[in-house]
């Protein structure tokens, strides 16, 4: 398909635009920080976003299975699942890939009449979105499981302390 060659040629620009669109979903102060620093130590979220979207696009262009490409986004999805995003916002960033592709390939799509090929690419992005939502759901389930386990552990420890306290009161009364 001719569109995949164009996507490969403009890959760096697509990644940058996709990342910019995703970063724009954050509050202004976070946005500025994420855009300024690319260092994984001083800006782990921004660095992770950039590296994971690049890896995802590489697999996407290599026509790897959708699940494999979506797996690259797992870490970004995990980060967004614990932030103040709704489920749609947490995984909606995948669809920004469509916008980046349309913006950066608009001229070539019109010139070479690549509308059918664009629909094929966009259908793959939609499937990628569904895989991302599955990943988000698993991440949220795991987070709830961890919270539930922690509550159980705390409740058990409180009950144990209470029992020890009652036992020590009983022992003091007996003397």
Cα distance between residue 86 and residue 79, in whole Å: 13
Q: What is the pLDDT along the chain (175 residues), one digit of tens a residue?
A: 699 999 999 999 999 999 999 999 998 888 888 887 667 788 888 888 899 999 999 999 998 888 888 888 888 888 888 888 888 999 999 999 999 999 999 999 999 999 999 999 999 999 999 999 998 888 888 888 988 989 888 888 888 887 866 766 666 666 5
The DSSP call for residue 83 is: S
The model carries a pTM of 0.78
Environment class of residue 165 by beta-carbon count within 10 Å: exposed (0-12), middle (13-18) or buried (19+)? Answer: exposed
């Amino acid at each position: 398909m001719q569109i995949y060659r164009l996507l490969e040629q403009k890959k760096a620009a697509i990644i940058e635009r996709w990342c910019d669109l995703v970063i724009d979903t954050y509050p202004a102060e976070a946005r500025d920080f994420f855009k300024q620093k690319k260092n994984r130590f001083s800006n782990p979220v921004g660095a992770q976003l950039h590296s994971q979207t690049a890896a995802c696009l590489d697999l996407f262009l290599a026509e790897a299975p959708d699940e494999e490409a979506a797996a690259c986004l797992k870490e970004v999805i995990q980060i967004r699942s614990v932030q103040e995003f709704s489920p749609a916002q947490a995984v909606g960033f995948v669809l920004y890939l469509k916008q980046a592709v349309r913006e950066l390939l608009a001229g070539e799509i019109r010139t070479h009449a690549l509308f059918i090929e664009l629909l094929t690419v966009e259908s793959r992005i939609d499937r990628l979105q569904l895989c991302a939502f599955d990943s988000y759901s698993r991440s949220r389930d795991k987070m709830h499981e961890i919270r539930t386990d922690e509550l159980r552990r705390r409740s058990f420890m409180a009950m144990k302390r209470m029992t020890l306290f009652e036992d020590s009161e009983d022992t003091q009364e007996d003397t």
